Amino acid sequence: MASEYILRVENLHKKFGEREVLHGISFNVRKGDTKVFIGPSGTGKSTLLRCINQLTVPDSGQVWLDDDEITGCGQKISTFRQRIGMVFQNFNLFDHLTALQNVEIAPIKVLKMKPAEAGKKAMEELCRVGMQDWADHYPAELSGGQAQRVSIARALAMDPEVILFDEPTSALDPELTREVLEVMKELARGGMTMLVVTHEMGFARSVATEVIFMEGGEIVEQGPPGEILANPKHMRTREFIGKISDQ
Amino acid sequence: MNIFQILIEWGPYLLGGAAITLGLVASALAIGFIFGLPLALGQVYGSAPIRAIIAAYVWFFRGLPILVLLFLFYFGIFPVIGIDLPAFFVGALVLGMRGAAYQSQIFRGAIQSIPQGQMTAALSLGMTPWMAIKSIILPQSLRLSLPGWSNEYPEILTDSAVCYAIGVVELLTRTSQVVSQTYMTMPVYMAAAVMFILLNYAGMWLIQRVEQKIAIPGFGIKAV
Amino acid sequence: MDPTLFLTQILVPALWQGLIVTVELVALTAPFGLLLGIGIALGRQYGGKGLSSACAGYIIFFKGCPLILLLFMLYFGLPSIGITLPAFTAAVLGFILCNAAYNSEYIRGAILSIKDGQITAAQALGMTRWQTIESIVLPQAIRRAVPGLSNEFIYLIKYSSLAYMITVIELSGEAKIVATKYFMYSEAFLAVGIVYLALVTLTTYAVHLLEKKTAIPGMSQ
């Protein structure tokens, strides 16, 4: 029987040299969940996301996608990564490809889709993020917000089961942040399963099914946004939320 | 006989020499590319022993004068290991093997200048490392290495004349033949020099055209 | 022939003789190649229209003409117009002319990279054009050109081997003679190759030291 969770993370540990960045992280994700990770910088949130698709290899612990274990799968990792999209803080669009080519390259190369079919699919994804008019532009010709929307389309084109967002708006000014968050809200409403590391409390409040507060490589507190953001139980969560809302 | 008569009589022969020189240079550049690219990849992605072997190769071929390399392979190594090639091919091979050492450094610099995020993003989409190198890293780094070729081409062109020393009948050898036939020393040498210079500029012009043709807006423009 | 005997009695003494000639060639070329290079760069950058295009033509010719052809012209060609040079002199002259063309490009590049503000400031202090060039522009430009100039110096060591093509018996020439006489091609050319490698590697190391020494805090190349 299939597990009720689409993604399971169990007791992840990661050290960089002497510094322990992840200290036994566990959580489960249901299909359609939007989990938002908050917490001070340097508390391992980004490392956690990278451990899920093994861009960073954890020291111990397991990650499961459906009933398949990702951790320790060796060469097979690329087949898991096809099913897990990722969106980066600094976009990482392929600089030598147009917006459209950025979106279609993985379906063509990885899924062996026919170029015409991949092109059509890519165009649909660009429409979904409102970037269809910029299909022929190169990354250097796009604003940060536009580039990030293209990179979301790039992840979507693989029809992922989960998308990891690693501080997707941290490099953007408020105006551009809004256009990216709009796209992400749309995705969440459409039932996409998302793990989001962000400092955007408004987004967490309105979209998250669950907010997870992390500090010092541990999950301090987790729960529905109304609870965590309005009535945090832990002192550390309260302090953090207080600081954020002061800004 | 004056110089014009000589040039009319011997011009085609010299131009033929220029064509041979161009063939020599093109072969050397191609060999340099075919071997230089894997050397660069090995130096960036290879294991420690592979990197050390490649570094030694580069050190050796960059440290020796082209004249000594030609002598070494034409009179020494190739006959000893039983390779019996016409001088032209030895010339192309030696220029090419040395070119590979230089080109590998151009490619290596270009590969290393590409931000880490490009590889990360490619892997996150499910590409294998080799797929990512092939469709993301190499297309970018080859574009970035084109300006490096504007140093490589003229160097190989002028060095190709040294193949005269192992008896390759290229432009310089034909020039010497014409000189000894006509005794019009300086004018014939000058004519050859002009041909080399024209080949030089024609090649550079071509490289620039290719550069413009494959240019991508905002890509590869570095702050100076 | 006994290999040890061949090495100690024949090869090493021959290469030693050759090394002396090679060092002489390089040592006589380098300073004049640098001075002429600075002159060409200044002429190209600050000269009038005529001088500037003459310098540009100089660079085009001497960078485009293969060095070996240039040496042929100087040694085999010049006598036909009444100038006969000894082979060694012809070689050094050819090396200087060629070396200067490449050096001038590095120096000019360095001159162009100096900010306009420096020149304005010097003029505001009442310096003449020549004073500005001499005491503000050149000292900076030459420092910035050091990596390129040292590269050319290493090239000079290697290309000094072409002197053999006009009968100057330097390192490669000695190796060729020994190789042909004793039919020891691989051995002789590998041995001379090692000498060049040693020269080039030592020079590269010395250049690093020089670069460190001439470095000025905060002034990147």
What are the sequence ranges of the domains in chain C?
A: 3-214
Q: Residue A165's closest chain B neighbor by CA? A: B124
For B122-154, b/e burial (b = at least 16 CB within 10 A) is bbbbbbbeebbbebbbbebbbbbbbebbeebbb
Mean pLDDT, to the nearest integer, of B127-153? 91
- Whole domain around residue B65: which residue ranges? 24-171
Render pLDDT for A213-223 as a digit per residue (tens, 0 to 9): 999 899 999 99
Residue A1 lies in a domain: no
Whether residue B2 has pLDDT greater than 90:
no
Residue B99 lies in a domain: yes
CB of C144 within 8 Å of any CB in chain B?
no
Residue A140 lies in a domain: yes
Instruction: Note the pLDDT of residue A2.
Output: 57
Residue A138 lies in a domain: yes
Residue A136 lies in a domain: yes
Query: From the CA of C175, how many Å to the nearest CA of chain B?
Result: 9
Whether residue B222 has pLDDT greater than 60:
no
Nearest by CB to residue B64, choosing from C60, C65, C193, is C193
Q: Residue B122's closest chain A neighbor by CA? A: A106
Residue A46 lies in a domain: yes
Residue A171 in 3-state DSSP?
coil
Q: In chain A, which residues have pLDDT < 50?
A: 1
ipTM value for the complex: 0.91
Mutate to test the interface with C, among B68, B81, B83 (most CBs of C within 10 A): B68
Q: Which chain B residues are closer than 8 Å to C192 by Cβ?
A: 68
Instruction: Note the pLDDT of residue A246.
Output: 65
Query: From the CA of C124, how many Å to the nearest CA of chain B?
Result: 27
Residue A21 lies in a domain: yes
What is the DSSP track for chain B? --HHHHHHHHHHHHHHHHHHHHHHHHHHHHHHHHHHHHHHHHHHHS-HHHHHHHHHHHHHHHHS-HHHHHHIIIIIIHHHTT----HHHHHHHHHHHHHHHHHHHHHHHHHHTS-HHHHHHHHHTT--HHHHIIIIIHHHHHHHHHHHHHHHHHHHHHHHGGGGGGT--SHHHHHHHHHHHH--HHHHHHHHHHHHHHHHHHHHHHHHHHHHHT--TTSS----
Taking CB atoms and an 8 Å limit, are A88 and B139 in contact across chains?
no
Instruction: Note the pLDDT of residue B1.
Output: 62
Instruction: Note the pLDDT of residue C214.
Output: 74
Length of chain C: 221
Contact A143, A93 (CB under 8 A): no
Looking at residue A183, which CATH number applies to its domain? 3.40.50.300
- The span from the CA of A9 to the CA of A44, in Å, is 14
- Whole domain around residue A26: which residue ranges? 7-246
Q: Listing from the earlier edge strand, what are the strands of the sheet with A84-87?
A: A84-87, A162-166, A193-197, A34-38, A210-215, A218-223
Cα C71 to Cα C53, C81, C213, distances in angstroms: 24, 15, 36
- φ, ψ of residue A15 to 5 degrees: the values are -115, 140
pLDDT confidence bin for B214, thresholds 50/70/90 = confident
Query: From the CA of B126, how many Å to the nearest CA of chain A?
Result: 4
Report chain C (221 residues): mean pLDDT per 10 consecutive residues: 81 92 96 96 92 96 96 94 94 97 94 84 82 87 88 94 95 93 90 95 90 72 45
- Topology adopted by domain C3-214: MetI-like fold (1.10.3720)
Whether residue B224 has pLDDT greater than 70:
no
* Count of other CB atoms within 10 angstroms of residue C202: 11
- The span from the CA of C193 to the CA of C185, in Å, is 12
CB of B151 within 8 Å of any CB in chain C?
no
pLDDT confidence bin for B221, thresholds 50/70/90 = low
Instruction: Note the pLDDT of residue B125.
Output: 95
Nearest by CB to residue B64, choosing from C77, C78, C196, is C196
Taking CB atoms and an 8 Å limit, are A110 and B131 in contact across chains?
yes
Give residue A144's identity as a one-letter amino acid code.
G
Render pLDDT for B147-187 as a digit per residue (tens, 0 to 9): 888 889 999 999 999 999 999 999 999 999 999 888 889 99
- The span from the CA of C9 to the CA of C188, in Å, is 13
State how many domains chain A has. 1
Residue B217 lies in a domain: no
